[in-house]
Structure 1
Amino acid sequence: MRTRQQFNCDMKKLEIVLLCATVSLWKPHGVCGECVAETLSEFDAGFCHGGLEVIYPELTIGVCRIIPREQRDKISGEWGPPQVQLTHAEEGKTYALMMVDPDAPSRCNPTQAHWRHWLVADIVGSDLKNGDFKGSVLSEYRRPTPPKNTGLHRYQFMLFEQPADKPLGLSQEESSSLGKWDTEAFMKRFGLGTPLAAVQFLTQNPKD
C-alpha cells in the first residue's frame, strides 16, 4: 500500500511532467529525480500575505519569489540577517518572527522539517514599522544553505502578534536542535494563532 508521502511525490512528478512539457524556458533541478521549471507554483505563491517585507542588501522580498541564480551565493554565504518591515504594524503591539525551512533535507523527503533558521520575540511595533527592530533573539539567524542536489527549498518568514502575558521561549529540547521543530506546537503553546503576515522565497544550492 502506498504511503501518503509516496502519493504526494507521485502527484509532484505528474505536475513536473506537465510543467516541463508546457514551459519552453526552463532550467532543471532535482525534485523527486525529475526536472522542474523555475517558475513559482500557485500553491507557493499563495503562501504570502499581509505585506511583510524581507530586505537583504541587494534584494527586497515582498512577494513570494524564487531567488535569481546570480544572488544565491550571496544569500547563502555573504548576507547576514535581513531587515524585516511591516509598514502597517501597530506601535502599541509586540510581535514575534520566525523563519523556517519546511523542505529539509529536501521537499520530497522533509524528514527534518521544520528547520529553524531564525526566531525573534518582543519586537516593538514602531520598530517593525520602520524596518529596524532588535527584539529578543531566541534562535540566531542562519543563512539559507540547501544541500546539493536537493532542489529548491522554501524559506518562510511568519509574523505573529505576541500575547502580552506570555513571554516566548524555546524548551530545552527545542534549543538542542534546529531540525524537526514542531512549529504548530510552539504556536499553540504561546497562543500565537495564525500568522498576521508571511512571505517566502525559494532557493537552492548555488553549485547545483
Structure 2
Amino acid sequence: MAVPALFLVLCACVWGFCHVEATPDTLSSLDSSFCHGDLEVIYPQLVIDKCLIIPEDGKLREKVSTVWKAPQIYFPGAHKKKMYVLVMVDPDAPSRTKPTAAFWRHWLVTNVQGSALKRGQIQGTTITDYHPPTPPQKSGFHRYQFMLFEQPPDAPVSLTEQEKSSRGKWGLQAFVKKFDLGKPVAALQFLTQNYKD
C-alpha cells in the first residue's frame, strides 16, 4: 500500500506541483506558533499552508529566490466586503543572529479586496513591489513572514517618504500602530536559506 502512495506523490512532484508538509522536528515551537488563520501562500510548484522549512530537494529554494514571481494569496476566512493589508517581511536581515536591518520589507499591499482573497488573488494597491526571498550566502535560515491585517474602513494606509527610500530597518510595529491595524487576522511563515549554501 505504501508503494502506490509514494508513486502518487512522486507523480505529483514530477508534474510540477508539490504540497510541502511541515513536520514537528523541522521548526522550533516559536517558529511553529507564528502561523494561524488558514492563510495560504501559493507559488507555481509549492503550496504553503503552515509554518515550514523549504526543503532543498527539487530546487525549491532556488526557484523561490530566483524564478518565481509574487505568489497567490488565499484566505478563505476573508470577509467579501472588507479590505485587508498584506505584509511580507524578513525579520532576520541580514542574519538571524544579527538582524540589524530588520524588518526587511519584501511586499506591502493595501486595500486588498476580501472577495479576491477568497479566490486566491491579490487585488489592491501595491505600496512595495514584491521582492523574492534572497537570503545572503552563509547567513543561515531566514524567516519570511506573511501577515494579513484587516484594514479599518476609510483609512488610507501608506508609507512615509523615509520608509519608501529603503526596504530595510522598517518599523513594522510602528506602522501597525499608526494605522490601527491590530493583530493579524492570519499569519504564515516559511524558512529558507541561500540555495547555494
Taking structure 2 as the reference length, what is the TM-score of the superposition?
Answer: 0.85
What whole-Å deviation, never above 9, does each CA across 1:51-104 have from its counterpart, x for those lacking one?
000000000111000011130010000000000010121111101100000000
Aligned to 2:32: 45
What whole-Å deviation, never above 9, does each CA across 1:103-149 have from its counterpart, x for those lacking one?
00000000000000000000111100010122100000000000000
Aligned to 1:183: 172
Aligned to 2:78: 89
Instruction: Calculate the aligned-residue CA RMSD, in Å.
Output: 0.8
Distance 2:182 2:154 in 1: 15
Structure 1: which amino acid aligns with 2:160?
Answer: S
Aligned to 1:133: 122
Structure 1 segments of 4+ aligned residues over 4 angstroms from their partners: none
Aligned to 1:77: 66
Structure 1 segment 32-181 matched on structure 2, within 5 A: 39-69=26-56, 70-181=59-170
Aligned to 2:185: 196
Q: Secondary structure at the match of 1:147?
A: coil
What whole-Å deviation, never above 9, does each CA across 1:151-205 have from its counterpart, x for those lacking one?
0000000000001121010000000000000000000110000100000000000
Distance 1:154 1:40 in 2: 11
Aligned to 2:195: 206
May I ask how many residue pairs the two structures share in their alignment?
Answer: 171
Q: CA deviation at 1:43?
A: 0.8
Structure 2: which amino acid aligns with 1:163?
Answer: P
Identity of aligned residues (%): 57
Distance 1:132 1:147 in 2: 30
Unaligned segments of structure 2, at least 5 residues? 1-24
Distance 1:39 1:119 in 2: 28
Distance 1:202 1:104 in 2: 13
Distance 1:60 1:39 in 2: 17
